[in-house]
Each structure stands twice: as C-alpha cells, then as structure tokens.
C-alpha cells in the first residue's frame, strides 16, 4: 500500500472522528439512532452507540476495500488499477458523509430532509452505473450471481445492462429527491431500487440459460 496514494482516503475516513470530537461535549446523553421516512425521531440510544456506528461506517468500508483485492481468487480487482481506487475513494467518501449526517442529526436532535440522503444514494447509483461495464468478474464487487460468476459473457452482458439501469435509475432518484415530497420520493426510490436490483439478476439467469440451450442444441 502506497501511503501517499491512500492519504486522501485516510483523511476522508478521519473526518467523522474529528467532527465527533469537536461536538462530543455538546451531544445529549441520549441521541436519536433511528428516524422514520418523515424525518421524525422514533428511537433513541446512548451517544457512544451512535459514535461507534458513525466511526465504523467509513472505517470498515475502507478496510474491506483495502483488503479484498488481495483475497480476490481471480485477481481481477488488482487489474482495475485507478478505477478500483476511484471506487474505493467514492464509497469511503459516501460512508463518511453518511456518518457526518448521523452525528449532525444527533447533535441537533433532528435529521435534515430525508430527501437529501436519498439524493446521495442516487449519486451512488449514477457512479456505479458508470463503473459497472469496467468491472471484471470477481467475487466482491458488481452483480454477483451464480450465472455471472460462471460465464464471462454473462458477466459482461449483465453489467452492461445493469450499468445502464443504475445510471438511469440514479438520475430518476436525483430528480425525485429535488422535485417531490418525502413520502412520494421514498416510494419512487423504493421502486427504482427494486427494479435496478432485481432486473439484472433475472437477466443474468435468462441469458445464461439461453446460452446453455444454444450449446446444447449445437451439440445435439
């Protein structure tokens, strides 16, 4: 691991910790740990629980993404080079921002508009949509089904479709977060998430079986 290359991500991981230390004495003994879709607090917990959750989000994400290329059986992630580093940077940043939102909301005993959190997830969908077609077959990142892992062709075709769907889905989520109320936005977000998650899985099964039948027919 090159420290100079990893330093910006390490700084991102530490941001919630620095902010938490700054506001620690201002936090109430009991802080909100869960909100409903309206942004209303519906559960409280000890501030130490919240702190551990907030700190662990970016830290665990970063450590996992740091380790998995070394244990990837096919070594495909190592070959992604800068693209994998970009994914690692973005995912760690996303988790760090989420941790900052949790701490800020706990300090103020409220949550910012839930639409903003959904908007962040929409950005995540768009970014991953762009990267899907460049991800090589592996056991950790991407649309990992028995059929994509079995066939390089199925992996490529599934991620081509998945990339398009995640990108478009992300744009829809972004627009919804800016235009609609919390309730409508949450419903649309749930529908979009279900579609972009389930459709590529079904598609991978379909094209795998189609390929198997083609080979079977040729052999017959």
Residues 127-148 have a mean pLDDT of: 90
**Residue range 11-32, pLDDT digits in tens:** 999 999 999 999 998 888 777 6
CA distance 139 to 215: 26
Q: Looking at residue 217, what is its pLDDT?
A: 45
Secondary structure (DSSP) of 145-166 = -HHHHH-HHHHHHHHHHHHHHH
> What mean pLDDT is predicted for residues 81-94?
90
- Cα distance between residue 17 and residue 65, in whole Å: 20
Minimum mean pLDDT range among 23-37, 44-58, 166-180:
23-37
**Which residues have CB under 8 Å from 70's CB, separation 6+?**
none
Q: What is the pLDDT of residues 96-111, one digit of tens each?
A: 998 998 888 777 766 5
Q: Which residues pair with 32 in a beta bridge?
A: 44
Confidence of residue 169 (pLDDT cuts 50, 70, 90): very high
* Domain boundaries defined on the chain: 1-112, 113-220
What is residue 31's predicted lDDT score, i.e. its pLDDT? Answer: 75
Over pLDDT 70: what percentage of the chain? 88
Give residues with Cβ within 8 angstroms of 185, minimum separation 6. Answer: 114, 115, 118, 176, 177
In this prediction, residue 35 has a pLDDT band, given cuts at 50, 70 and 90, of low
Q: Judge whether 114 and 31 are in contact, CB under 8 Å.
A: no
The whole-number average pLDDT for the span 145-166 is: 94
User: What's the pLDDT score for residue 214?
Assistant: 56
Given a contact cutoff of 8 angstroms between Cβ atoms, the answer to whether 56 and 34 are in contact is no
C-alpha to C-alpha distance for 4 and 161, rounded to whole angstroms:
36
């Amino acid at each position: 691991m090159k420290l100079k290359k990893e330093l910006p991500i390490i700084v991102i991981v530490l941001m919630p910790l620095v902010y938490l230390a700054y506001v620690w004495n201002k936090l109430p003994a009991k802080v909100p740990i869960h909100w409903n879709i309206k942004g209303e607090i519906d559960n409280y917990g000890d501030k130490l629980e919240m702190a551990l959750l907030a700190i662990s989000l970016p830290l665990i994400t970063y450590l996992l993404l740091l380790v998995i290329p070394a244990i990837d059986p096919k070594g495909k992630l190592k070959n992604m080079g800068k693209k994998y580093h970009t994914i690692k940077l973005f995912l760690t940043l996303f988790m760090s921002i989420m941790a900052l939102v949790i701490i800020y909301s706990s300090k103020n005993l409220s949550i910012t508009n839930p639409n903003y959190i959904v908007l962040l997830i929409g950005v995540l969908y768009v970014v991953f949509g762009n990267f899907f077609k460049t991800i090589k077959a592996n056991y950790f990142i991407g649309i990992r089904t028995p059929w994509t892992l079995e066939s390089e062709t199925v992996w490529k075709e599934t991620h081509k479709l998945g990339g398009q769907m995640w990108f478009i889905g992300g744009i829809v989520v972004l627009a919804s977060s800016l235009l609609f109320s919390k309730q409508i936005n949450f419903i649309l977000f749930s529908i979009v998430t279900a579609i972009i998650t389930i459709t590529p899985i079904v598609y991978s099964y379909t094209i795998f079986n189609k390929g198997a039948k083609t080979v079977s027919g040729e052999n017959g």
